[in-house]
């Protein structure tokens, strides 16, 4: 099967494009790369490094582990969640526990009481509040469950019982939101029999196609970054990713973090990302996009093939859907919204994936890592840090320690 993503765009998208400055913008991207090298393009996991993970997976099989609970949040979970959605989004075999929500703990407890369980604790810094709190809570009720750790700072988690035998390392330069191509993403995927070797092989090949030395004319990741750069420089202030494959909605959540944390660095940058699920959000957000301010770019994402999961709908109930497959209906709905938005002079683009295989998805993740990084270079910002999130963490720790912190909001009224 051919693995490719077909990109299409309407005239309102392309009218803002000019490759006349390609050489100048490529130089800007090179300057950004020299200042802020992209660790994901060099420090990702290679297939030759999988042996320790394979040994870990074999150990879990010997323990007869039926469920793996991954305790982590943000970049420590979103990539793994996106991969799980491609395999079986609703399975209890792999559970991600992010925030300290009581309802989630109740679900975790029900599973841990019924199934042989192991825990994978993921924290790049080793100090993540939510992760340490959830682990502490889990141990209160389920002591003795096998635990494994993934981090860049093993010294920071020694107090949790981490050691050289149960700890796997994230390269220090590899940011959390890029860490799907490290034990962070590969260990949960391996537990549920995802073909991580095929995934990493395809990622390696894609990385070579889109890395910084490949010129704009031959580099679709650079071309895409320039497209977005030109559109945001015009008058658009946000991008809606319309995802018509339910399996890819969690990929969208991963992309939102990648985009927002990488690019939201300067007051002049207005490029808010959002995920719109098709066709569900046609019945909520579409009205706004059709007739409110024309400030958003619209990127549609779908796949040509669902394989054996696609079903034909019978003609038992009358309707235009009779004798059509589910994928045909979804595609028709997507095309109809593309046309409706185009009629309202909205910029519209479409990404059509050939399938949702490991090979295709590895290329898809790699593509957006490059696009977002190149867009950051064009804006002359560091796309690999996130200084804006630290202030809230500091204040939260002060509150939990009982220190005085001035309230940011004051009571105005009560709803009775």
Residue-level pLDDT at 308:
62
Burial of 176 by CB count in 10 Å (0-12 exposed, 13-18 middle, 19+ buried)?
A: buried
Residue-level pLDDT at 270:
96
Distance of CA 411 to the CA centre of its chain: 37
Mean pLDDT of the chain: 94
What CA–CA distance (Å, rounded) separates 311 from 307? Answer: 9
Burial of 318 by CB count in 10 Å (0-12 exposed, 13-18 middle, 19+ buried)?
A: exposed
What CA–CA distance (Å, rounded) separates 25 from 30? Answer: 9
What CA–CA distance (Å, rounded) separates 313 from 296? Answer: 35
pLDDT digits 0-9 by tens, 113-153: 999 999 999 999 999 999 999 999 999 999 999 999 999 99
pLDDT digits 0-9 by tens, 61-98: 999 999 999 999 999 999 999 999 998 878 899 999 99
pLDDT digits 0-9 by tens, 12-52: 999 878 767 899 999 999 999 999 999 999 999 999 999 99
pLDDT greater than 70 at residue 1: no
Q: What are the backbone angles phi and psi of residue 102, rounded to the nearest 5°?
A: -55, -40
Q: What average pLDDT does the segment 292-303 reach?
A: 97
Q: Which domains does the chain have, with CATH numbers?
A: 5-37+212-386 (3.40.50.10490), 41-195 (3.40.50.10490)
């Amino acid at each position: 099967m051919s693995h490719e993503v077909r990109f299409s765009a309407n005239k309102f998208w392309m009218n803002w494009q000019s490759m006349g400055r390609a050489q100048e913008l490529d130089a800007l991207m090179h300057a950004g790369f020299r200042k802020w090298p992209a660790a994901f393009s060099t420090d990702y996991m290679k297939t030759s490094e999988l042996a320790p993970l394979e040994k870990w997976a074999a150990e879990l099989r010997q323990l007869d582990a039926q469920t793996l609970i991954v305790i982590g949040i943000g970049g420590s979970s979103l990539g793994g969640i996106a991969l799980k959605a491609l395999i079986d989004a609703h399975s209890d075999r792999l559970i991600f526990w992010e925030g300290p929500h009581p309802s989630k703990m109740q679900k975790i407890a029900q599973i841990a009481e019924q199934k042989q369980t192991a825990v994978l604790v993921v924290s790049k810094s080793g100090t993540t509040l939510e992760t340490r709190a959830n682990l502490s809570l889990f141990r209160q009720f389920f002591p003795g469950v096998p635990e494994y750790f993934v981090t860049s700072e093993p010294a920071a988690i020694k107090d949790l019982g981490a050691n050289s035998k149960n700890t796997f390392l994230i390269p220090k330069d590899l940011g959390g939101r890029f860490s799907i191509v490290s034990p962070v993403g590969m260990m949960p995927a391996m537990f549920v029999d995802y073909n991580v070797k095929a995934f990493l092989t395809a990622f390696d090949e894609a990385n070579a196609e889109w890395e910084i030395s490949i010129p704009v004319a031959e580099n679709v990741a650079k071309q895409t970054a320039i497209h977005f750069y030109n559109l945001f420089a015009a008058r658009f202030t946000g991008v809606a990713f319309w995802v018509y494959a339910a399996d890819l909605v969690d990929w969208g959540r991963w992309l939102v973090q990648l985009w927002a944390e990488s690019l939201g660095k300067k007051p002049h940058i207005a490029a808010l990302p959002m995920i719109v699920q098709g066709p569900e959000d046609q019945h909520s957000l579409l009205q706004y996009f059709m007739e409110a301010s024309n400030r958003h770019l619209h990127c549609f994402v779908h796949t040509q093939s669902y394989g054996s999961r696609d079903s034909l709908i019978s003609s038992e109930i009358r309707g235009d859907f009779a004798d059509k497959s589910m994928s045909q209906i979804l595609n028709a709905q997507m095309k109809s919204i593309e046309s409706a938005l185009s009629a309202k002079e909205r910029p519209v683009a479409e990404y059509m994936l050939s399938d949702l295989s490991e090979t295709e998805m590895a290329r898809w993740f790699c593509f957006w890592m490059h696009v977002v990084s190149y867009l950051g270079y064009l804006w002359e910002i560091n796309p690999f840090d996130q200084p804006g999130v630290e202030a809230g963490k500091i204040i939260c720790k002060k509150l939990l320690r009982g220190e005085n912190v001035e309230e940011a909001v004051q009571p105005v009224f009560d709803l009775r």
